[in-house]
């Protein structure tokens, strides 16, 4: 197959969790891939504003699928697709986080707002520790809609409770993000649907793309792109969804896979 593009998850694939720099082995092999004429895309659960300049420059990324596919950005960071949570669901989730007292970060186009448990959220969110200016303390906010439309909610607490939310909010998908943390976003959308928006813009077919990932939110793109590569440190679900399992991300897993398939 003549592959034309590579799509990479960030945390646990190109970078350590919540880090703002790639593993040192990654950048040279991505440069080699670009020299071979391959497009480089990122598909991440992060908001675009947490894909910092260092990562974008290191990877040579041309476009990004962010917030688990809810916001798609071209190389100039123009929005190609935007899939918000329904307004009433958004407001009900804010009330739920306050009533059940769990920290929840609501992702908007340019910031995250926390309507309950701000300090607990910032302490556990990782990159938020060094980028707190992007995390708005909205605990006293009486009208959450002033922030605009939200696309994704990152929640800390009991996963069993979070997995019960779709019974009340059937328009949501809930996934495990990490230990004691889940994410919720609009049902029917995911990283792969975001990639479809991106592929149309670039004139690419899904079978011409190789996807790399390590987690539950990567499974659909690992299954449906032309070739799915799971990291050796990935979840069992990601490995089952993939066509090939490479070495762990901190053992040159990206380079190993690209060499294995003769792409560099």
Split at pLDDT 50, 70, 90, the class of 49 is confident
101/58: higher pLDDT: 101
Average pLDDT in the 133-148 region? 94
pLDDT per position as a tens digit, 190-206: 999 999 999 999 999 99
Point out the least confidently predicted range of 11-20, 155-164, 174-183, 238-247.
Answer: 11-20
pLDDT in tens, 212-237: 999 999 999 999 999 999 999 999 99
Residue 63 has pLDDT above 90, yes or no: yes
Q: Where are the domains of the chain?
A: 5-82+189-260, 87-186
Q: What is the pLDDT of residues 86-139, one digit of tens each?
A: 999 999 999 999 999 999 999 999 899 999 999 999 988 875 455 667 899 999
Weakest mean pLDDT among 26-35, 43-52, 117-126, 128-137: 128-137
Residue 69 and residue 195 in contact, taking contact as beta carbons nearer than 8 Å: yes
Mean of per-residue pLDDT scores for the chain: 93
* Beta strand ranges found along the chain (DSSP E): 5-8, 39-43, 63-66, 71-73, 79-82, 104-107, 112-114, 135-137, 152-156, 172-178, 181-186, 209-213, 227-230, 244-245
Task: Write the CA distances from 74 to 78, 132, 242, integer angstroms.
Answer: 5, 26, 26
φ, ψ for residue 171 (rounded to 5)? -90, 5
Which residues lie below 8 Å from residue 226, measured CB to CB, with a gap of 6+? 1, 3, 205, 206, 207, 208, 209, 210
Where does 87-186 sit in CATH, by number?
3.30.1240.10
- Gap between the Cα atoms of 189 and 70, Å rounded: 7
Instruction: Measure the CA–CA gap between 175 and 172, rounded to whole angstroms.
Output: 10
Which superfamily does 5-82+189-260 belong to?
HAD superfamily/HAD-like (3.40.50.1000)
Model pTM score: 0.89
């Amino acid at each position: 197959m003549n592959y034309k593009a590579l799509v990479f998850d960030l945390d646990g694939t190109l970078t350590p969790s919540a880090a703002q720099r790639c593993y040192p082995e990654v950048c040279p092999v991505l440069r080699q891939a670009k020299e071979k004429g391959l497009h480089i895309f990122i598909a991440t659960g992060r908001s675009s504003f947490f894909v910092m300049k260092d990562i974008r420059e290191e990877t040579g990324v041309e476009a990004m699928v962010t917030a688990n596919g809810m916001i798609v950005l071209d190389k100039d960071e123009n929005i190609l697709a935007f899939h918000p949570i329904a307004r009433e669901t958004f407001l009900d989730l804010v009330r739920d986080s306050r009533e059940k007292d769990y920290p929840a970060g609501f992702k908007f186009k340019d910031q995250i707002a926390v309507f309950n448990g701000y300090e607990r959220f910032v302490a556990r969110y990782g990159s938020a520790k060094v980028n707190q200016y992007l995390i708005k303390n909205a605990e006293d906010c009486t009208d959450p809609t002033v922030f605009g439309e939200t696309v994704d909610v990152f929640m800390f607490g009991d996963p069993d409770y979070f997995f019960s939310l779709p019974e009340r909010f059937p328009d949501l998908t809930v996934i495990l993000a990490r230990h004691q943390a889940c994410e919720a976003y609009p049902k029917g959308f995911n990283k792969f649907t975001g990639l479809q928006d991106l592929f149309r813009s670039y004139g690419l077919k899904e079978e011409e793309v190789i996807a790399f990932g390590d987690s539950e939110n990567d499974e659909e793109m690992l299954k449906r792109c032309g070739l799915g590569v799971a990291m050796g440190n990935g979840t069992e679900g990601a490995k089952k969804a993939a066509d090939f399992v490479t070495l762990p991300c901190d053992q040159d897993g990206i380079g190993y896979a690209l060499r294995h398939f003769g792409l560099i």
